[in-house]
Structure 1
Amino acid sequence: MKTLVWAEHDNAALKDATLATVTAAGKLGEVHLLVAGHDCDSVAQAAAKIAGVATVHVADDAAYEHPLPESVAPLVVELMASHDAFVVPATTTGRNLAPRVAALLDVMQISDILSVEDERTFTRPIYAGNAIATVTTSDAKLVITVRGTAFDKAAAEGGSATIEPVSAAAQGQDKASFVSSEIAASERPELTSAKIIVSGGRALQNGENFHSIIEPLADKLGAAVGASRAAVDAGYVPNDYQVGQTGKIVAPELYIAIGISGAIQHLAGMKDSKTIVAINKDEDAPIFQVADIGLVGDLFNIVPELTEKLA
């Protein structure tokens, strides 16, 4: 089985989500990567070095500088004539692209897989991760999104894939066009790839408290900052901080939940973390059911003291 993996990038560097997707795709068979962008040779060279990748297909065209799914989907469908499966990370971009490819191929999309049982059988979460479904497909072509936290990242070095240019006229510009982008810049690690995450909830009461209590601790730990949906909805922080089923799915080595009760949708986004530390004054809060370490008390006293004692 030949698998085509969408390489997520910014025309300069590959995103980490691609590495976990390569691992998942490798369980299906031979792995090919698709790099669609503009002046993206550095991305193609990096993709060719990923362990386990056999071929890198490069579509370098100005039409793909900002690869809209309406433009990329027809390109993928052309390449699927010689591939059996199309696999993408379950990121915002991947979730935007995969359904369009599935529709054009007239097949069922298999979303958010956690494991590959065989070439046509997969597991995926349902009911906010409270149950795991095993699904089997009989479609001739497969379209799959991968939950990156469920798979180890492929080695970024050690591969020697062949790079092949792809010449395909971009389509779909009449349906959608790129206008602008507003990208939040931060010196902290990106949420989805951070090894340590400090998250705050509605119990922080306001945005000023959130920044004054959560951020100093995150700075001491070199951590990314996350938030519950309740904190985002209350306006404490922007929505790109949100961790959960409707936010970002994370699985860091250490996740510190401060003032977060543990709603189902939040747990679905972080319960795969290696170690979970919860700080909450409510000893019956659901977050303690998944926490490895729980501390019951007033976060306004505990967190500043913890921050002060860290070297």
Structure 2
Amino acid sequence: MSEVLVVVDHVDGAIRKPTLELLAIAKRLGEPAAVFFGGSDKAGEVSEKLKAFGADKIYVVDDAEIKGYLVAPKAEALQQLVEKAGEGGVAAVLFVSGYEGKEVAARLAIKIESGLITDAVDVEADGGAPVTTQSVFAGNYTVKAKVTKGTPIITVKPNSTSPVEEAGAGTVEEFSATISDAAKTAQIVAQQPRKASGRPELTEAAIVVSGGRGTGGNFEPIEGLADALGAAVGASRAAVDSGWMPHTFQVGQTGKTVSPQLYVANGISGAIQHRAGMQTSKTIVAVNKDDEAPIFELVDFGVVGDLHSVLPAATEKINERKN
């Protein structure tokens, strides 16, 4: 059975949940083989976690040589891994569908002359060939696609499936990649870690509570409900353009795309730009005092009312249940 390479998304060795979701998808397609770019001192702990969620093999690529550079060195290392396996040796390469994941995936696809599919919301095997499901044209259509040339390169949105805790063989192999000077021309000269909010990452959260123009700039009810639910906070473009929330909170076509189990839209009209960023959510709830708001065409549950009254009442009831 061919290997399915899963590129590990992590922060200083702390594996993010979408990687574990990719391992569950990889099991459908072949033998899950994780690729960890990081320090050798983190390899043991990381390997145990990956093994617990089904990785049959873990390739450890020490990032000492490539740390501090942009994504080109990672693409070169992955190219060498794929070429090492030979023809038919790798069934697919899976990435988390984020900014870095999509850029590395695109570079890798060019290097190995293979097809690329981005933002898949599901991946299944069809006679051994991965078949993806995508939500396209602002979520108005669902399409099936497969790569017809080379090794399929696929980026998958977070929350597309659930992690499966099932131990794999967990064989660890250190892989030394040869990185060209050309790949090291773009270097990171400074970086600043994002301030921790105590809430989940927006694109990875199982629950997202968003606010729009209807908040009037007061996001306290949004944040209160989010904290009661253990959710991430999002915002519409109107709220961001008004300066009420930073762009990093924006959900939509020009912001972040989310696909949580539950999406709560508050004071958001439901313009196509916003819908494009959240339409694949499993369950959608809207609170809006305009009963003709377009968002109500999309939702599973709708509440016609003032969010400044509805949300505090809902938050109070949730906290009562939790206590």
Same fold (TM over 0.5): yes
Q: Tell me the CA shift for residue 76 of structure 1.
A: 0.3
Match of 2:170 in 1: 161
Per-residue CA distance 1:138-162 (angstroms, 9 max, x = gap): 212221111233222232x633310
Return the alpha-carbon distance in structure 2 between the equivalents of residues 91 and 74 of structure 1. Answer: 19
* Percentage of identical aligned residues: 41
Asked whether 1:186 is paired with 2:197, we answer: yes
Asked whether 1:32 is paired with 2:40, we answer: no
Return the alpha-carbon distance in structure 2 between the equivalents of residues 273 and 165 of structure 1. Answer: 38
Task: For 1:5-154, list aligned pairs within 5 A.
Answer: 5-38=6-39, 39-41=41-43, 42-51=45-54, 53-65=55-67, 68-81=70-83, 82=85, 83-113=90-120, 114-118=122-126, 119-154=129-164
Are the structure 2 counterparts of residues 152 and 268 from structure 1 closer, same or farther at C-alpha, using a change threshold of 3 Å? farther
Q: Tell me the CA shift for residue 72 of structure 1.
A: 0.4
Match of 2:208 in 1: 197
**TM-score (norm: length of structure 2):** 0.86
Per-residue CA distance 1:18-47 (angstroms, 9 max, x = gap): 112222222221221100112432223322
Q: Tell me the CA shift for residue 120 of structure 1.
A: 4.7
Are the structure 2 counterparts of residues 253 and 134 from structure 1 closer, same or farther at C-alpha, using a change threshold of 3 Å? closer
Asked whether 1:287 is paired with 2:295, we answer: yes
Where does structure 2 lack aligned partners over 5 or more consecutive residues? none
Where does structure 1 lack aligned partners over 5 or more consecutive residues? none
Q: Tell me the CA shift for residue 67 of structure 1.
A: 6.7
Q: Tell me the CA shift for residue 84 of structure 1.
A: 3.7
Match of 1:252 in 2: 260
Q: Tell me the CA shift for residue 267 of structure 1.
A: 2.4
Q: Tell me the CA shift for residue 308 of structure 1.
A: 4.0
Return the alpha-carbon distance in structure 1 between the equivalents of residues 130 and 112 of structure 2. Answer: 17
**TM-score (norm: length of structure 1):** 0.89
Match of 2:308 in 1: 300
- Do the aligned partners of 2:210 and 2:235 also contact (CA within 8 Å) in 1? yes
Q: Tell me the CA shift for residue 88 of structure 1.
A: 0.7
- Do the aligned partners of 2:211 and 2:234 also contact (CA within 8 Å) in 1? yes
Q: Tell me the CA shift for residue 283 of structure 1.
A: 1.0
Partner SS state of residue 159, structure 2: helix
Partner SS state of residue 148, structure 1: coil
- Do the aligned partners of 1:192 and 1:250 also contact (CA within 8 Å) in 2? yes
Aligned residues: 306
Match of 2:269 in 1: 261
Are the structure 2 counterparts of residues 205 and 244 from structure 1 closer, same or farther at C-alpha, using a change threshold of 3 Å? same
Are the structure 2 counterparts of residues 307 and 43 from structure 1 closer, same or farther at C-alpha, using a change threshold of 3 Å? same
Partner SS state of residue 103, structure 2: helix
Are the structure 2 counterparts of residues 173 and 3 from structure 1 closer, same or farther at C-alpha, using a change threshold of 3 Å? same
